[in-house]
Amino acid sequence: MASSPLAGSLLVAVGWLAVAVLGLVPTNNAFFARRIAFPLGAAAGVALAAFGLQAVWLPPQILTLPLGLPDLPFHLRVDPLAGFFLMLLGSVSAGISVYAAGYFGNEPSGRLTLISLQYHVFLASMAFVLLADDAYLFMVAWETMALSSYFLVITDHQQPAIRSAGFLYLLIAHLGAIAILLCFGVLHGGRGDYTFDALRAAQLQPAWATVAFLLAFFGFGAKAGMLPLHAWLPEAHPAAPSPVSALMSGIMLKTAIYGMVRVIFDLIGNLRWEWGMVVLTVGAATTLFGVLYALMQHDLKRLLAYHSVENIGIILLGLGMSMVFIGFGHAAAGVLALIAALYHTLNHAVFKGLLFLGAGSILHATGLRNLNDMGGLIRGMPRTAFYFLIGALAISALPPLNGFVSEWLTFQAALQATILQHGVVRSLLPLFAATLALAGALTAMCFVKVYGIAFLGQAREPAHRTPVPHAGDAGRMERYGMAWLAAGCFVLGLFPSSFLLMLNRVGVSLTGQGLSEEALAGSGWLWLVPTSAGQASYSPVIFLVVIAAATLLTFLLVRRFYHGRVRFAAPWDCGYPEQTSRMQDTADAFGQPIRHVFGPLYRMDRRLPGPEDAEPRYSLKVEDRHWYWLYLPVARAAEFVSSKIALLQQGRISIYLLYSFITLIALLVFVR
Amino acid sequence: MNSVPGIAFQILQSVFVVLAAPLLTGWVNQCRAWLQNRSAPSILLPYFTLAKLFHKDAVFARDASPIFRWTPYILFGCMWLAAGIVPVLATGLPFAPAADIIALVGVFALARMFSALAAMDVGTSFGGLGARREMLIGFLAEPAMLMTLFTAAFISGSTQLTTIVDTLAHREFALYPSLAFAAVAFLMVLLAENARIPIDNPTTHLELTMVHEALILEYSARHLALIEWAVAIKLFAYMTIGIALFLPWGIADAGDWSALPYAFAALAGKLALAGAGLALIEALLAKLRLFLAPEFLSTAFLLAVLGMLTHFLVKG
């Protein structure tokens, strides 16, 4: 029993809860949180990853806990899908926890204890979301997750901006939760049994199945940050401390993807291709808007948050394609698309976690979040710069790192479109692939901007030229955390076929079918073969070896036949000797061509100085259009309705008594 | 496929592309000079320039980081890899399955990312300007290139360049409307990606217009030589991709030594024509304003997508 993955995962989740509670006992002891709680949490994460990995290869296991309400015990279950996500949660959170041990090192002890409590409750609740096998436990864990992360977001609650960011997050999280709850209600159909087994067995009419799908898509999409419910991400991620941003963006968004796959693929089942088209359309819009808005940001963490939106869009593209293929009865192609989506889920967790941690180290060392104030950080913090570069290359989908593998798989899935019977759908799928290609190239542009402006070049403001107090490289624990995730980028990028086989297990457990025999036979540790060797193959190891060998050989040949002499001089100034560091590109300048090309998509407020201005000032504000056409009207409508309802509240006892009286009369009339 | 002759072919091709690439650049320059009524420089001039640059002492800006130092080598390595993937002389090379068309586009993207980062490294305003413009061109050219390649992939049912070329080379002669769209799109991408007129002018250092030259402004001596060489290989690789996709006849199978002389001759003839054609385009067109570049490239992107849709509509 002790070695079974379910019991092990449960032990880890309870262990996280124990760590959370234990942190409270030795009060005012920051040492405990720093040296014991976070490292212990990390170790538990590694164990959870191992249990998850084990669970993928085992048949599903179930367990009923005698907890919860009377006659409503908690059901737990671990199957390959949950196992995969448990592995994601465990492995990524291990790196983040190690980092957090260093990052929160300077926090005052009271605050640190509180952060440690919320942090570990957050981790445990995510584990329970993945383990839950009935709607009741699922919702309890889901809400615990929302609340604990809300409290983590408002760690710096003294600032009003952070409080309002937290409120927005809580609001959208609960909108989503309501939709999920309603979805479970639809699936359940009044039989009184909320276990997932019962929901799975329910025979829904097509119309009700579609309603359930839409509710689940909306509800989990709100948590995942799909368009147009993404507005909380760019507010909440910058507000939270960096390890928390990494957890939320890297892992919590993924629990929403888990929920989406669990409910739509597993519980509702009988996928229809029309649903897939809905998911694809929303996914494509999310991808493009995410990256285009990311390009306009100059706050590093906001930028990363918009990239999370983009990556959720990419995952949705994969899921949508999978639903289309399965809906038309091509399970093998559907599993390939599902694998691509889940692979990207894992990849995004790793590299986005890494990037948020890197942003945290910059913030820690310099106190800066605005790219326009940074510059030349590679000289002060070379190690952080190195890890951040790995993350930047990975998210830009460049081979041979991990981001490329999942985009490659998504493209391969899209290229299967020829087998579809429906002409329109068949020619639409490649268009979604085109969206993905466009987004990938834009991401590369965005990360050239981020890396070039933050780490390269010269420090922009003279004030920061002499490094800000204690601006050094990231501390030891912070570096270990980042190194763990950076290594993950390499492992996932270089040895994709082992993960492909693992995800194939998930696909088999969900759809009953897997990749073709040919693909499984062709996928050794060296080769990635999604369909058949004649159609497509990719070998990242050979790729890396050749590129590294060619680079080194060139270096050695040049040294051998020529020389290695170097002189150092001032940069070439093109005949303008008065150049200062302020003449470098800023983050906003770098995005200017995109603003020019995609102008109508942005809401811009630009003030240009006139020729006569004595004090010329230039100001530019780029805002999310969704605020204006969606959020503000809804907010205004809510305000209007509540102001009307407020008319009822007169504050006089006689009026309230009158209301009671009228209610009584009405009840007597209608109920009799 | 992984036999000794196959590997010998692989090495032969990689070395051949690297060594022959400056010759193509020299040929294009020569043709252009003729078309502009100038007396043409020697076709070997690029080699002399490279030799001269290798002998000089390198000058670095004081604050240059390791990224700046390593980028020329990485660029060269990337292009060398590309030279190994593209079926220039033969199909079925043993290395070809390691990277398909998507990975090939990825190699070029990797090279672009590093050259843009290196340009921003020193922190001059020109470097940033170059990087920004290069990425602006890249973000449209890269998807257009992918879509072009996807059209060919749909026709042959594979993303392996070598399978695509095999399929296209051994089909009966028929006009594929989708390939016609793709060819036009590919030509536009080729011009943009290789910093050619009408997108960029490789012979100017005018700050209003330069893109590629602004990127490499800080480089000198051996590093500049490596970059120039990598640029030549890139042009060679793009031309041979175009040839492989749209004029694949005459290519040899890996290990088939008897077909090699014919493959060499066919390649030389096709490259000579393509180089002259490139020079003609450059002589006839004027450079576009920078902000017309996105329009030019989005046209290429739309053409490529249209080509793909055409494939689905007419099955050809």
pLDDT tens across B165-195, in order? 888 877 666 677 888 899 999 999 999 988 8
DSSP A571: P
Q: What is the dihedral of CA A176, A180, A181, A185, to 10 degrees?
A: 150
Phi, psi of A302 (to 5 degrees): -65, -40
Q: Does residue A182 sit within a domain?
A: yes
Helix (H), strand (E) counts: chain B:
11, 3
| Rama region for A374: left / alpha / beta (φ>0; ψ in -120 to 50; rest) | beta
Residue A66 lies in a domain: yes
Range A267-272 average pLDDT:
86
Q: Are A45 and A89 in contact (CB under 8 A)?
A: yes
How far apart CA A105 and CA A119 sit, in angstroms, is 15
Residue A379 lies in a domain: no
User: Residue B63 is nearest to which of A376, A452, A533, comparing CB atoms?
Assistant: A376
| Closest chain A residue by Cα to residue B142 | A441
Out of A235-249, A566-580, A606-620, the most confident range is A235-249
**Region class of A457: left (phi > 0), else alpha (psi between -120 and 50), else beta:** left
pLDDT on residue B173: 60
Determine, for residues A562 and B136 on separate chains, whether the beta-carbon distance falls below 8 Å. Answer: no
**B98 to A537: CB separation less than 8 angstroms, yes or no:** yes
Residues shown for chain B: 316
Per CB-CB distance under 8 Å, the chain A contacts of B73 are 551-552, 554-555
Residue A309 to chain B, least CA–CA distance (Å): 19
Q: Looking at residue A106, what DSSP letter applies?
A: G
Q: Do B157 and A451 count as a contact with CB atoms less than 8 A apart?
A: no
Please state, in angstroms and as integers, the Cα–Cα distance from residue A107 to each residue in A32, A110, A185, A240, B98, following that order.
Answer: 13, 8, 44, 14, 49
Please give the angle made by the CA atoms of A7, A11 and A16, to the nearest 5 degrees.
150
- Give the start-to-end residue ranges of the domains of chain B: 4-314
Q: Measure the CA–CA gap between A31 and A26, rounded to whole angstroms.
A: 10
How far is A13 from A458, CA to CA, in rounded Å? 46
- Which pLDDT does position A96 carry in this prediction? 94
**A364 - beta bridge partners?**
none
| Token pair recorded at residue A66 | 């005698």
Residues 6 or more apart whose CB falls under 8 angstroms from that of B308 comprise A427, A430, B147, B150, B151, B154, B178, B182
What separation in angstroms does the CA of B2 have from each of A15, B9, B96?
A: 52, 11, 11
* pLDDT tops 50 at residue B127: yes
Q: According to the model, what pLDDT value does residue B154 have?
A: 86
Task: Kindly state the DSSP code that residue A134 receives in the 8-state scheme.
Answer: B
Angle between helices A402-414 and A331-366 (to 10 degrees): 150
Alpha helices in A455-539, H assignment, sequence order? 462-465, 476-494, 496-511, 517-522
Look at the alpha carbons of A72, A78, A82, A86 in this order and tell me if their dihedral is positive or negative. positive
The mean pLDDT of A315-326, rounded to a whole number, is 94
Find which of A474-478, A503-507, A617-621 is predicted with most confidence, using mean pLDDT: A503-507
**Residue A393: both structure tokens together:** 């290359």
A463-479: average pLDDT: 66
Scanning A71-90 for CB atoms below 8 A from B yields: none
Residues 567-596 of A with CB under 8 A from B: 567-574, 579, 581, 583-585, 589-590, 592-594, 596
| Rounded Cα–Cα distance for residues B192 and B201 (Å) | 10
Residue A322 in contact with residue A470, Cβ under 8 Å? no
- Whether B77 and A547 lie within 8 Å, measured CB to CB: yes
User: What mean pLDDT do residues A53-67 have?
Assistant: 87
Contact flag A434-B301 (C-beta cutoff 8 Å): yes
Asked if B120's CB is within 8 angstroms of A456's CB, the reply is yes
Q: Is the pLDDT score of A469 beyond 60?
A: no
Instruction: Using the structure block, give the residue that is written with the tokens 């409910």.
Output: A263
pLDDT grade for A462, boundaries at 50, 70 and 90: low
- Tokens matching residue A671: 């109920």
Between B62 and A413, residue with greater pLDDT: A413
- Mean pLDDT calculated for residue range A388-399: 93
- Domain of A652 in residue numbering reads as 628-671
More confident residue, B40 or A148: A148
- Banded pLDDT at A291 (limits 50, 70, 90): very high
Do the Cβ atoms of B137 and B131 come closer than 8 Å? Answer: no
End-to-end CA distance of chain B: 30
Helix (H/G/I), strand (E/B), else coil: B172:
coil
For residue A563, the one-letter residue type is H
Instruction: Tell me how far apart the alpha carbons of residues B100 and A527 are, in angstroms, rounded to a whole number.
Output: 12
Residue A620, strand partner residues = A606
Task: Mark which residues 526-545 of A lie under 8 Å from B by CB.
Answer: 527, 533-539, 542-543
| Residue B78: half-sphere exposure toward Cβ, Cα within 13 Å | 28
Q: Which of B102, B137, B147, B161 to mutate to test binding with chain A, by most A CBs within 10 Å of its CB?
A: B102
Alpha-carbon gap: B144 to the closest alpha carbon of chain A (Å): 8
End of a domain among A231, A266, A301?
A266
Task: Report pLDDT digits (tens) over A409-433.
Answer: 999 999 888 888 877 888 888 889 9
Alpha-carbon span B63 to B255, nearest angstrom: 49
Name chain B contacts of A440, Cβ cutoff 8 Å. 109, 142-143
**pLDDT tier at A262 (50, 70, 90 boundaries)?**
very high
Q: pLDDT at residue A94 above 90? A: yes
* pLDDT band, very low/low/confident/very high, at A140 (cuts 50, 70, 90): very high
Separation between Cα atoms, residue A133 and residue A184, nearest integer Å? 12
What are the chain A neighbours of B313 within 8 Å (beta carbons)?
Answer: 427
Q: What 3-state class would DSSP assign to A276? A: helix
| Both structure tokens of B131 | 């990087």
Q: What is residue A78's three-state secondary structure?
A: strand
For the segment A158-179, the average pLDDT, to the nearest whole number, is 91
Among A231, A273, A341, smallest CA distance to A625 is for: A231
Average the pLDDT over A94-98 and give the result: 93
Q: Verify whether the Cβ–Cβ distance A433 to B136 is below 8 Å.
A: no
Residue of A nearest to B205 (CA): A574
Interface test with chain A among B54, B57, B63, B313, by most A beta carbons within 10 Å: B63
Comparing alpha-carbon positions, the chain B residue that sits nearest to A541 is B98
Query: Distance between alpha carbon A274 and the CA centroid of its chain, in Å?
Result: 26
The model's confidence at residue A44, banded by pLDDT at 50, 70 and 90, is very high
Residue A562 has what DSSP assignment?
S
pTM listed for this prediction: 0.92
**Quick check: A625 contacting B, CB < 8 Å?**
no
Furthest-apart CA atoms within chain A: distance in Å: 104
Question: Shortest Cα distance from B261 to chain A (angstroms)?
Answer: 27
DSSP assignment of A331-383: HHHHHHHHHHHHHHHHHHHHHHHHHHHHHHHHHHHH---BGGG---HHHH-HH
Contact residues on chain B for A375, CB-CB shorter than 8 A: 123
Whether residue A6 contacts residue A76, with contact meaning beta carbons closer than 8 Å, is answered with yes
B222 and A558 in contact by Cβ < 8 A?
Answer: yes
Q: A619: helix, coil or strand?
A: strand
pLDDT at A3: 64
Nearest to A358 by CA among A380, A379, A389: A389
pLDDT the model gives residue A95:
94
Q: Judge whether A61 is closer than 8 Å to chain B, CB to CB.
A: no
**How many whole angstroms separate alpha carbon A547 and alpha carbon B79?**
9
The pLDDT score that the predictor gives to residue A2 is 47
- Supply A56's token pair: 């993928």
Distance CA A531, CA A409 (A): 10
CA distances from B174 to B84, B131, B168, B243, B313 (A): 29, 42, 10, 17, 17
Spatial distance between the Cα atoms of A327 and A274, rounded to a whole number of angstroms: 8
Angle between helices A5-22 and A38-56 (to 10 degrees): 170
| Most B-contacting residue of A292, A560, A597 (CB-CB within 10 A), to test interface | A597
Q: Is the pLDDT of residue B162 over 90?
A: no
Q: What is the distance between the alpha carbons of residues A645 and A580, in angstroms, rounded to a whole number? A: 60
- d(Cα B104, Cα A100) in Å, to the nearest integer? 39
Instruction: Let me know: does A474 contact A378? Beta carbons within 8 Å.
Output: no
A438 with B143: Cβ contact below 8 A: yes
Given a contact cutoff of 8 angstroms between Cβ atoms, the answer to whether A338 and A322 are in contact is yes
Whether omega before A616 lies within 30 degrees of 0, making that bond cis, reads no
- Give CA–CA dist A268/A260, Å, rounded: 10
Helices A331-366/A300-327 angle, 10° precision: 170
Task: Give Cα separations from B192 to A14, B30, B300 (angstroms).
Answer: 58, 21, 10
CB contact under 8 A, A584 and B78: no
Q: From the list A397, A423, A456, which residue is nearest B123 (CB)?
A: A456
A632 domain residue, yes or no: yes
Nearest to B217 among A441, A456, A572 (CB): A572
Q: Same domain for A248 and A195?
A: yes
Residue at A312: amino acid letter? I
- Kindly determine whether residue B117 and residue A456, on different chains, have CB atoms separated by under 8 Å: yes
The one-letter amino acid code at A320 reads G
Q: How near does any CA of chain B get to the CA of A15, in Å?
A: 43
What value does the CA radius of gyration of chain A take, rounded to a whole number of Å? 26
Number of A to B CB contacts under 8 A, please give it.
Answer: 258
pLDDT at position A672 over 80:
no
Cα–Cα distance, B265 to B261 (Å, whole number): 6
**ipTM value of the model?**
0.93
Neighbours of B172 (CB within 10 A): 4
- The answer to the question of residue A662 being in a domain is yes
> Cα Rg for chain B, rounded, in angstroms?
19
pLDDT above 70 coverage of chain A, percent: 97
CB of A531 closer than 8 Å to CB of A412:
yes
Q: What is the pLDDT of residue A1?
A: 43
Q: Number of folded domains in chain A?
A: 3
Flag if A399 and B125 touch (Cβ within 8 Å): no
Residue of A nearest to B15 (CA): A550
pLDDT greater at residue A350 or residue A34: A350
Asked if residue A539 belongs to a domain, the reply is: no
Q: Do B110 and A393 touch (CB under 8 A)?
A: yes
What are the tens digits of pLDDT across the range A589-611?
888 888 888 888 888 888 888 88
Residue B267 amino acid letter: L
Please say whether the beta carbons of B255 and B214 come within 8 A.
Answer: no
